[in-house]
Amino acid sequence: MMNWIKRLLKTILFIVIVYATGRFGVVYFGSQLIGERAPYLQSLTQDSVTVRWQTRQNRMGVLKYGLHPDHLNYTLLEDDVGKVHSVTATTLRPDTRYYYSVGDISGYKDPNPKYDWFRTMPEDDTDKATRIWVIGDSGEPGRIANDVRDAMLRWIEQNPRENDDYINLWVGLGDLAYRSGTNEQFQRALFETYPNILRNQALWPVYGNHDARRWTYFKLFTLPEYGEAGGESSGTENYYAVEYSNVHLVVLDTTDSSMNPGSDMMEWLKRNLAKNTKQWSIVAFHHPPYTKGSHNSDSIDDSGGRMHKIRQHVLPVLEAAAVDLVLSGHSHMYERSHLMDCHYGESDEFSENNIVSRGIYGQHREYRKPERNISHSGTVYVVAGTSSRIDHGPLNHPAMVVSMAEAGSLLIDVDGNRLTSRFINDKGEVRDEFSIEKQNGYTSNITSCVLKPGDIPQQSNSSAE
């Protein structure tokens, strides 16, 4: 009997080892970067940019750039020969358009002035208008993703801004490659879907649960782990900050990083928000705190309880720091709240007391907040996970005043004291629009929350009113 049990245990162990080895092989080789990849921008800041691309053969990469497409006066060479290339240009001028081309020591192509350019971020003390394009759960290539992309570009072309680029910041809310974040899936969903945009805009990605199924994500992106794009140094590419004009953007990792009090990310978040001096604060992460779409934020079993943890541990910190707008994906719906505060429980616990403002209703909702960043003066929550797919759900979360199963993406304009967000569908129609205006002397219906002392960061630019 004992020998039979030993043989059975050995057989089970052998099967486990074979499965684990095979699984490791699938994950490893699915994460490898194979074939050519056109140049794309990363970590675009006031004075630097990283240009990445890939070749079939081993080459010594060359980046040439300059202020005019016919005069690329600056040349940077890689130190090593390889297929995956990454060159960082530094000491650039702020708020300046550069043209560029990549190649190797044997030569390079002349840049296409329409696509092969980048504009560095403006200096800190400017108040330049900012246009942010947000795509959510864009990882399924095909008709929906293409239509959403083309509809947004058409809307921007039909509604141009004077003397400015078509967008200034580009944010991806996670799940950039379905189903399991392989290199091939990233190639189709990202690089083949947005090839021209990647050439002149740096994507600021959120780490989604499907992105985390392989190692490709961190091989593809160069992200500001040491505060290169503004804000506090995080020491990791999982979460980081980006500052543009008067906007402070925070990207959090709700997939792999701990959200427990005292964890590295939560302590960094408090430090980062406490030091923020920008007028507008926007936070992006993958899992939504409120949704009744293809995911249910009430269910402790849904998504490993992450949506619960966000409500319990993350939202009190954000609302105490007067964050204006929170963006998430994961649920393949569009859902949007009023200006709200202090709802950290289940949907049946939501009440009128959590609504700071229902807004002034004209052609769209207009919300008001104090000009200074006052704790618990209200936050708008948006779920925008329909840039490549639409699923089903009841769409009846009481915190969400707008809910729809419709493909689209977000366009956010920040101009001085006013932020305007539009959900533009795959036909180019504005299906939801709201604005937040910060007014001097305005006193909002500030709610009070019972929080643990460690949850509330000190605001360096706040004052009680």
> 208: burial class by Cβ within 10 Å (0-12, 13-18, 19+)?
buried
Residue 458 has pLDDT above 70, yes or no: no
- Beta strands 325-328 and 107-108, pairing class: unpaired
DSSP 3-state of 356: strand
Q: 390 with 371: CB under 8 angstroms?
A: no
Q: Is the dihedral of CA 99, 104, 105, 108 positive or negative?
A: negative
pLDDT tens-digit map of 28-56 = 444 455 678 999 999 999 999 999 999 99
Contact 155, 4 (CB under 8 A): no
pLDDT tens digits, residue range 380-426?
999 999 999 999 999 999 999 999 999 999 999 999 999 999 999 99
pLDDT in tens, 75-86: 999 999 999 999
Q: Which residues share a beta bridge with 384?
A: 334
pTM of the model: 0.90
Q: Residue ranges of the alpha helices (H) in 122-192? A: 143-158, 183-186
pLDDT digits (tens, 9 = 90+) for 175-185: 999 988 999 99
Q: Which domains does the chain have, with CATH numbers?
A: 38-119 (2.60.40.10), 130-455 (3.60.21.10)
What pLDDT sits at residue 109?
85
Mean pLDDT, the chain, whole residue set: 90
Q: Please give the helix or strand (H or E) that residue 135 lies within, else none.
A: strand 130-135
